Structure 1
Amino acid sequence: MPHIARLELLSIGDLARRAGVSVPTVRYYEERGLIQATRTASNQRQFPRHTLRRLAVVAAGQRVGLTLQEIAAALAELPPERAPTQREWQKMSRQWAATVARRIRQLEALQSSLDGCIGCGCLSLGKCTLFNPDDAAAGEGPGSRWLRNAESAAFAD
């Protein structure tokens, strides 16, 4: 990490307070590679002020339902020594919007199948004998095959 003026560094407590997260959360994000700290001679963590922006990106990603792994992949494309630019944020948010849209289609497919058979082969629903006679779905493979097929069809749209 490049040399950063002492006044531009935040202690872990200050960073956590300003970002609205707990100190253990800051440590966890550092362990996961989402943020980086420098260490003082006495081994105390200090974070560049731009880490607040990276934590804001983490919070935004979590609000739209991304995993920390997905957020880390997006942050890995950014230089660690500065906050994302407006252009970088726009590119990232467009990618995230596509992910959110895909998840919405998955949930819509799930919603439309809740009142019918999802091809699980369980034969426990009264409708299974109508939609899945003789457990035909079992021949298509394990799990809820028809739900997965509906999701696939939603992706193709």
Structure 2
Amino acid sequence: GTILVPGCGTGHDVADLANAGFETHGLDVSQIAIDRAQKTNTVERASYLHGDLFDLELNRKSTYDAIWEHTCYCAIHPSRRSDYIDSVSRWLRPEGIFVGLFFTNTQMPTGEGPPYETSREDVIEMFAPNFTLVTEQKPQAYYPGREGREWLMIWRRKA
């Protein structure tokens, strides 16, 4: 199947997923990040696209079996998070899988960021209308400074 990595930055996750055997497409609004990804993380089964996740015209061209979310959600202003969920729902085929590593940044003052404030409960409330939570857990390994502040959640898009 195919995987979309929104907000892929310089492509580390894209390359890791492609190296694991998945056809993986990275999407980022930053041309600089995409250029860097294409130079430093070029592997078989990985490709990169400069574009906006919210772009409906771009979205009409592709649907994916899975989406890999790695701290893109926390970079989206809270006022646009419902738009984010609508967008990833459109990019994902019905009953497709959404894997998210969410940075639950509850210490950030409201409105400041990115990363913007969110909690595990907020994520569940936002995703529940479009997705069914399959499983969740705290990751076994963390980036320094994120101990206990990340949640790995696997969702299935409702048909």
What interval of TM-score do these two structures reach, taking the shorter chain for normalisation? Answer: under 0.3
Question: Larger C-alpha radius of gyration, 1 or 2?
Answer: 1
TM-score normalised by structure 1 residue count: 0.21
Structure number with greater CO (CA < 8 Å, separation at least 6) is 2
Bigger proportion of residues as helix:
1
TM-score normalised by structure 2 residue count: 0.20
